[in-house]
């Protein structure tokens, strides 16, 4: 993966992490960045580390886009779920404490 692929992976991870913020209960602050980091790891694993399963679909800058998107969405979703479960909530308003 070259510089273009890394840039696409970072931007895609930020977009996926930010988009998960709007699913369900809204989290305050910058907790979506934790999800973005998880999405970046999932995107990298999806594009580079799954052997023959990660070499299909369009490729830009050494990054296979479809496996990276699927990996980012799956791992990002798991990380978002863990973050929401671990964040204490104010029961009166449903907002993080």
Residue 63: phi, psi to the nearest 5? -105, 120
Structure tokens at 69: 């998107």
Q: Could you state, in chain order, the average pLDDT of each consecutive group of 10 residues for the chain (97 residues)?
A: 91 92 73 91 88 77 89 93 80 55
- Assigned domain for 95 exists: no
Count of domains observed in the chain: 1
- Assigned domain for 94 exists: no
Structure tokens at 26: 């809204």
pTM of the entire predicted model: 0.80
Structure tokens at 96: 């993080």
Q: Which domain holds residue 73?
A: 3-89
Q: What angle do CA 73, 13, 15 make, to 5 degrees?
A: 90
């Amino acid at each position: 993966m070259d510089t273009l692929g890394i840039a696409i992976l970072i931007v895609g991870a930020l977009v996926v992490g930010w988009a998960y913020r709007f699913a369900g209960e809204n989290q305050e602050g910058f907790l979506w960045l934790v999800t973005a980091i998880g999405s970046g790891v999932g995107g990298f694993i999806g594009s580079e580390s799954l052997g023959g399963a990660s070499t299909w679909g369009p490729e830009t800058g050494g990054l296979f886009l479809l496996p990276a998107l699927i990996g980012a969405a799956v791992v990002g979703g798991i990380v978002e779920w863990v973050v929401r479960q671990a964040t204490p909530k104010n029961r009166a308003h449903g907002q993080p404490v």
